[in-house]
Amino acid sequence: MVKQTIKANSSQNGVTKTNWKKTLSKKELQHLKENGIHTLSDMKDQTVYLSDMRKKYPNGSEPCWECRQISQKLGLFDDTEVSE
Protein backbone atom coordinates (compact mmCIF):
# COMPACT_ATOMS: atom_id res chain seq x y z
CA MET A 1 0.00 0.00 0.00
CA VAL A 2 1.28 3.47 -0.89
CA LYS A 3 0.59 4.94 2.54
CA GLN A 4 3.23 2.62 4.00
CA THR A 5 5.94 4.27 1.93
CA ILE A 6 5.49 7.60 3.71
CA LYS A 7 6.61 7.42 7.28
CA ALA A 8 4.02 8.78 9.67
CA ASN A 9 6.43 11.09 11.46
CA SER A 10 9.48 12.18 9.49
CA SER A 11 10.96 13.83 12.57
CA GLN A 12 11.84 10.33 13.80
CA ASN A 13 14.58 10.42 11.16
CA GLY A 14 15.79 13.85 12.23
CA VAL A 15 13.91 15.57 9.40
CA THR A 16 11.41 18.26 10.35
CA LYS A 17 9.47 20.87 8.43
CA THR A 18 12.06 23.49 9.37
CA ASN A 19 15.35 21.65 8.77
CA TRP A 20 14.71 19.21 5.90
CA LYS A 21 16.45 21.42 3.33
CA LYS A 22 19.60 21.55 5.46
CA THR A 23 20.12 17.81 4.96
CA LEU A 24 20.24 18.17 1.15
CA SER A 25 23.09 19.29 -1.10
CA LYS A 26 22.85 22.30 -3.40
CA LYS A 27 22.50 19.96 -6.39
CA GLU A 28 19.60 18.12 -4.75
CA LEU A 29 17.88 21.38 -3.82
CA GLN A 30 18.31 22.62 -7.39
CA HIS A 31 16.74 19.40 -8.73
CA LEU A 32 13.72 19.87 -6.45
CA LYS A 33 13.38 23.52 -7.41
CA GLU A 34 13.46 22.66 -11.13
CA ASN A 35 10.65 20.16 -10.55
CA GLY A 36 8.45 22.52 -8.53
CA ILE A 37 9.07 20.88 -5.17
CA HIS A 38 9.35 23.64 -2.57
CA THR A 39 8.04 22.10 0.65
CA LEU A 40 8.38 18.84 2.56
CA SER A 41 4.72 18.21 1.79
CA ASP A 42 5.49 18.54 -1.94
CA MET A 43 8.29 16.02 -1.54
CA LYS A 44 5.98 13.57 0.23
CA ASP A 45 3.48 13.94 -2.63
CA GLN A 46 6.28 13.31 -5.14
CA THR A 47 7.32 10.18 -3.23
CA VAL A 48 3.75 8.83 -3.40
CA TYR A 49 3.56 9.65 -7.12
CA LEU A 50 6.83 7.84 -7.86
CA SER A 51 5.68 4.85 -5.82
CA ASP A 52 2.45 4.71 -7.80
CA MET A 53 4.39 4.86 -11.07
CA ARG A 54 6.64 1.98 -10.00
CA LYS A 55 3.59 -0.12 -9.14
CA LYS A 56 1.72 0.82 -12.32
CA TYR A 57 4.72 -0.03 -14.54
CA PRO A 58 6.69 -2.70 -12.62
CA ASN A 59 8.89 -3.59 -15.61
CA GLY A 60 9.53 0.02 -16.59
CA SER A 61 12.43 2.20 -15.62
CA GLU A 62 12.59 4.27 -12.44
CA PRO A 63 10.64 7.52 -13.02
CA CYS A 64 13.26 9.74 -11.34
CA TRP A 65 16.34 8.33 -9.62
CA GLU A 66 17.31 11.69 -8.13
CA CYS A 67 13.93 12.12 -6.43
CA ARG A 68 14.13 8.55 -5.16
CA GLN A 69 17.55 9.17 -3.63
CA ILE A 70 16.36 12.41 -2.05
CA SER A 71 13.32 10.60 -0.62
CA GLN A 72 15.62 7.95 0.87
CA LYS A 73 17.86 10.63 2.33
CA LEU A 74 14.87 12.30 3.98
CA GLY A 75 13.53 8.98 5.25
CA LEU A 76 10.36 9.15 3.15
CA PHE A 77 11.03 6.14 0.90
CA ASP A 78 10.86 2.54 2.05
CA ASP A 79 13.00 0.11 -0.02
CA THR A 80 10.80 -2.82 0.96
CA GLU A 81 7.98 -1.58 -1.28
CA VAL A 82 9.95 -2.48 -4.41
CA SER A 83 10.37 -6.15 -3.53
CA GLU A 84 6.86 -7.39 -4.28
Where along the chain do its domains lie? 23-81
In which band, very low, low, confident or very high, does the pLDDT at 79 lie, cut at 50, 70 and 90?
Answer: low
| pLDDT on residue 1 | 41
Q: Tell me, what DSSP letter sits at residue 8? A: S
Instruction: Note the pLDDT tens digit of each residue in 9-53.
Output: 444 555 777 788 899 999 999 999 999 999 999 999 988 988 888
Determine the average pLDDT of the residues in 51-79.
84
Higher pLDDT pick, 40 / 61: 40
pLDDT > 50? residue 2: no
- C-alpha 16, offset from chain centre: 14
